[in-house]
Amino acid sequence: MGTLVLPDGDITFQGLISVTAAGPGDINVAITGGTGRYRTAHGFIHAVITNTTDTNLTVHLIL
């Protein structure tokens, strides 16, 4: 569970991440709601861990 804090409001998300010996791999979590401009938000967030310090997020957002 987490929150993306953005200038026009927050997006909340939740998901289960499985970690194997090879690492977590690609991650998908559900957008569960939000505040402000994102109060009706739903969709999902896809995350790809690119190295030990960086993760690329793609937000698939439906308002």
Q: Tell me the per-residue pLDDT of 2-12, one tens digit each, with 9 for 90 and over.
A: 999 999 999 99
> How much helix, strand and coil, in percent to the nearest 5, is found in the chain?
5, 60, 35
Q: How far apart are the C-alpha atoms of 42 and 61, rounded to whole Å?
A: 6
pLDDT the model gives residue 58: 95
**For strand 27-34 and strand 42-49, is the pairing parallel, antiparallel, or unpaired?**
antiparallel
Position 35: which residue type? T
Which structure tokens are listed for 32?
């569960």
Put simply, whether the predicted model's pTM sits higher than 0.85 gets the answer no
pLDDT the model gives residue 7: 97
pLDDT the model gives residue 8: 96
Q: How far apart are the C-alpha atoms of 44 and 60, rounded to whole Å?
A: 5
Q: Tell me the per-residue pLDDT of 16-54, one tens digit each, with 9 for 90 and over.
A: 887 777 766 778 999 999 999 999 999 999 998 888 788
Structural domain boundaries of the chain? 2-62
